[in-house]
Amino acid sequence: MPLLLKIAPDLSDKQFEDILMVVKQEELTGLVISNTTISRADLLSSRKKIEAIGAGGLSGPILFSKALERVQKARTILGQKAVIIGVGGIDSSEKREQMLRAGADLIQIYTSFIYHGPKIIQRLTTDL
């Protein structure tokens, strides 16, 4: 039975590497990288506004660079056999290509669909 493990971007490097070893040892089908983040680093909103909004997971563009880095590392360690789905901040054909070049077999979108509507599909597939 195929099994994909979805991981958070907030894992430490050590935790991430440990998970990659488990995926490899247990021969899981692959990974979905990455889920929402609880980090508030690099947000443009004031600290006061962020505190007023409260806790919860963030998705979208803020995840892209971390997800891209993790996809690349996962591909290097897991090799070509593992399925890797890249998730987080993919809202253009350029970002789609970056994620695929980093080693993702597939991409997943959600936040970009909410903010850009169905036309995001055309934007992501324009140059295919």
Query: Which fold would CATH assign to domain 4-37+56-125?
Result: TIM Barrel (3.20.20)
Question: How much is the pTM?
Answer: 0.89
Name the pLDDT band for 20 (thresholds 50, 70, 90): very high
Q: Could you tell me the residue ranges of all domains in the chain?
A: 4-37+56-125
Residue 97 vs residues 1, 67, 102, 107, 121: alpha-carbon distances, Å: 29, 13, 8, 10, 14
Q: What is the pLDDT of residues 69-84, one digit of tens each?
A: 999 999 999 999 999 9
Residue 38's pLDDT is 66
